[in-house]
Structure 1
Amino acid sequence: MRQALSGFVSKSAFPLKTIMILAMAMTFVVADVASSLAAKSAAIVVDAKTGKVLYSANADGRRYPASLTKMMTLYLTFEAMAKGRISRNSPVVFSAHASAEAPTKLGVKPGGSVAVETAILSIVTKSANDSATALGEMLGGNETNFARMMTAKARQLGMNGTVFRNANGLPDPGQFTTARDMATLGIALREHFPQYYGYFAQRSFLYGRQRINGHNRLLGRIKGVDGIKTGYTRASGFNLVSSVNDGNRRLVAVVMGGTSGGSRDNQMAGLINTYLPRASTRGGGDLVAKADSNPISALAKVLLPKHDAPTPDEKPVAVAEADTAVADDATVAQGDSEDEDTAEAEAPKLVVPAKKVKTVIVSAPKVATAQVVAAYAEPTPAVDPVSTASVPSGWAIQVASSPKQSEAQAFLDKTTKQAPKVLAHASGFTVAFDKDGATYYRARFGGFGSKDAAWKACTALKKKKIECYAVQQ
């Protein structure tokens, strides 16, 4: 290297010492970038009987979910089946939009249809993007409404770090989750829909004369693994949620941001082998409260941030820009193409790492009943310098703003007690927004059908010495 630099310096105006310093600086830059990319990874292991977190690494950091998104699509599908709104044999019609989704997909033409069960099987095995979209349109009327339903359900389940934008997990800069939230969803799927949970153990299925094989390589290879879902985009890396049941112990483990399918699988295998023996043989009962909701009313109960890009924690600018470009490129089918065989030239053999995984015992996951953070609408830009959501129209009144969501919620509760008649037909909710690099929470009451109704309620509150103002959403 010194000889090469000497040759260069002889043709340049820079002294050799300066060149050497620059070379060392570049080495550190490359190391920093590599370190930040490694920091994209996240993992968590939860005892599915007790809720105890056995291992955690970046579990609450924002990550792109990729096809893990389809776990919520299937949750809502199972919920509709359990309530009798649809059946296994109900036809799922594919719109032009659904049929045009990027691969991997089932390939149904516009106007064509498959049974609900076929759509489910194509999602758990092939991770079919078109099937997920078609189910979302069937259940929500359109995919945008269905995404609101998905996020509303996430809040009801206690998944407070997740926002969904579509039914399949194809790149969207406003769609994000956390490893902890995915563990919560994995536990909820088994607890709430045991009658349908067996679908996740499906390793292949017959579609016409075609045998379609699944992407989850741990099924049948690691004892006790019985689901759940893989996920991949270039921006997210290789994701996996695994459920393990050895008869006496149960785990749900999540790995996000793997550098390859093989390394992700190896990491998951190591976590399972290390922590399954440490899981409790006792315990039981639901860890995640079952939250029923009407799919139409759910549309009015969720905030979808418009500009909350889910960039992984603390990435350097160059890396962040690269990931954003991937997420924004709607014309590229990179993910969830989910075709991991294509993403990796050759999948490495599954090898359980010999290196012992460090045990980290932290507090139990937030998988118990969580208060629904309801948000009806998008505030007009004039109200605050930061726009926050895109939701149905209507009017609301704002009574407070706080840097803590708990304080905003407490103010809503206090205001309701002070003016129960004025707010008898209103619904309180908090809306997060960013200002000067900090997150704040608006405390609002929604459900007013007109400006006059909102102003009338606000006037009544002011008579009780409660400051407020009306805002169109």
Structure 2
Amino acid sequence: MLPSRVKTGNTSKGFSLKSLQVAALAALSIVATSFISPNAEASRYSSVVIDSRTGQVLSSRHADKKLYPASLTKIMTLYMTFDALSRGELKIDQKLRVSARAAGQTPTKLGLKKGSYITVKNAMLGLITKSANDAATVLAEAMAPTEAVFANMMTEKAQKLGMTRTSFRNASGLPNRRQKSTARDMAILGAALIHDFPQYYNYMSLQSFNYKGKTFKNHNNLLGKYAGADGIKTGYIRASGFNLVASAKRGDNRLIGVIFGGRTAKSRDRHMQKLLDQGFAKMETIRPFVIPLPVMRPAQIAYGSGHTRSTVQVASAHQREIVTPTKEAPKAPAVNSAKNWGIQVGAFSRATRARDQLEMARNLTDGMMDSGLYNIRRVTHDGTTIYRAQMHGFTKGQASNVCKTLQRQEVSCFIVTPETGNLLRVAQN
């Protein structure tokens, strides 16, 4: 990693001008081989991180600079494809004919042959994983008379989405000096893809794709390696460097990060992880805890947490209760109600990790936890703070069944008793 500054000091009598020149050349070599960082003012670097729900910018650097998107262009091709699917203009299993133009596209590609056929689904997956240029042209020609016409349609859609500094000239991102976009515009596109087509977005997390006996690995290396990462797309041409639009969701927070101009894929990925880490840390101060409430249920305070009127805000439109963390509060008196039991699936050093664990547990229990209320409790003891990942609002039997289900999947789970708040381990049988 390139240090932020080079320390200097008095040289010894034997330290010659030649030595200084050698040291200077070495420093320049380090710069040349390091990631193109935001501080380097590199001509093709830009980045932005946004909250995907609100569009709030959490960090940015040259976010409006027009640069070459490379294969990030395919995100718009996929947006157009998802839109056509949702309107019935394409069918997921529809077979598309491969034209001579599509077959003749340069790598990377699936190797489609002129006159052959590929389904819409396989063409989409080829874009997502292999970043296949031939598949991009096949999809473009299925939605427009020519790829050039489709590119105009892409640009018009971009303008409608608010991507005011973007112009497309093809469906793949292959080099074209008039095909430009910005980090901010690509963040807008990434958020639009997620929010407009949630029924198709899960394809973006596919880590590999098998087609005609070959396995194509997704170029997005954050998948499976960075907590919460679930899409979206990489890009590279020589003129752009290594680009990436990435989405990551932790608890109720989802961030979209964009980088243009990485020197290598690895350095770009490391930089993206750092930007997302900083973004999630900032989100904890903006929106610490978001506890989903069932629709039409009256707003209520999660059991076991003490709050004043100023620390609980209820957004009626979304039926959510936002709870500011406090130190360990006195236990509330036992409530003579059936649904005053809870579960705990761990205690963590960060609130985001507690939220992630609850989300993971919810996904493993097939709806058993949908009626519960998140209660991430910040507890400070002897100067150490931990966050208990709890969910309340169950009967004792429901809490027991949830824990048994999670334990069978090797997830730690305890019942939280209403009277004392003690943790009870339940038997799996």
TM-score, structure 2 normalization: 0.57
> CA contact under 8 A between 1:230 and 1:240: conserved in structure 2?
yes
Pick from 33, 40, 43 the counterpart of residue 44 of structure 2: 40
Q: In structure 1, what is the Cα distance between the partners aligned to 2:273 and 2:40? A: 24
Query: Are positions 1:136 and 2:129 aligned together?
Result: no
Query: Are positions 1:236 and 2:244 aligned together?
Result: no
Q: Which runs of 4+ in 1 moved over 6 A?
A: 34-37
Distance 1:264 1:73, change over 3 A: same
What secondary structure sits across from 2:198 in the alignment? coil
Query: Are positions 1:93 and 2:117 aligned together?
Result: no
Q: In structure 2, what is the Cα distance between the partners aligned to 1:36 and 1:182? A: 22
Q: In structure 1, what is the Cα distance between the partners aligned to 2:115 and 2:206? A: 27
Counterpart of 1:224 in structure 2 is: 228
Pick from 116, 128, 131 the counterpart of residue 127 of structure 1: 131
Q: Which runs of 5+ in 1 are unaligned?
A: 1-23, 285-473
Q: Which amino acid aligns with 2:76?
A: M
Counterpart of 1:53 in structure 2 is: 57
Counterpart of 1:433 in structure 2 is: none
Q: In structure 2, what is the Cα distance between the partners aligned to 1:36 and 1:235? A: 18
Query: Are positions 1:181 and 2:185 aligned together?
Result: yes
Counterpart of 2:67 in structure 1 is: 63
> CA contact under 8 A between 2:252 and 2:290: conserved in structure 1?
no
User: Which structure shows the higher strand fraction?
Assistant: 2
What secondary structure sits across from 2:233 in the alignment? strand
Query: Number of residue pairs matched?
Result: 256
Question: Of the two, which has the highest radius of gyration?
Answer: 2
> CA contact under 8 A between 1:255 and 1:268: conserved in structure 2?
yes
Distance apart, 1:50 and its partner CA: 2.1
How big is each residue's C-alpha offset from its partner over 1:111-164, in whole Å with a ceiling of 9 and x where there is no partner?
111100000001000000000011001101110100000000000000000000
What secondary structure sits across from 1:196 in the alignment? helix
How big is each residue's C-alpha offset from its partner over 1:284-316, in whole Å with a ceiling of 9 and x where there is no partner?
9xxxxxxxxxxxxxxxxxxxxxxxxxxxxxxxx
Aligned-pair identity in percent equals 47
Pick from 86, 107, 114 the counterpart of residue 82 of structure 1: 86
Distance apart, 1:283 and its partner CA: 8.8
Counterpart of 1:212 in structure 2 is: 216
Distance 1:204 1:50, change over 3 A: same
Pick from 203, 206, 209 the counterpart of residue 202 of structure 1: 206
Q: In structure 2, what is the Cα distance between the partners aligned to 1:132 and 1:110? A: 14
Higher relative contact order (CA 8 A, sep 6+): 1
What secondary structure sits across from 2:112 in the alignment? coil
Q: In structure 2, what is the Cα distance between the partners aligned to 1:253 and 1:69? A: 16
Q: In structure 2, what is the Cα distance between the partners aligned to 1:238 and 1:260? A: 6
What secondary structure sits across from 2:256 in the alignment? strand
Q: Which amino acid aligns with 1:252?
A: I
Q: Which runs of 5+ in 2 are unaligned?
A: 1-23, 292-429
Distance apart, 1:273 and its partner CA: 1.2
Counterpart of 2:165 in structure 1 is: 161
Counterpart of 2:256 in structure 1 is: 252
TM-score, structure 1 normalization: 0.52
Q: In structure 2, what is the Cα distance between the partners aligned to 1:56 and 1:274? A: 12
Q: In structure 2, what is the Cα distance between the partners aligned to 1:220 and 1:89? A: 28
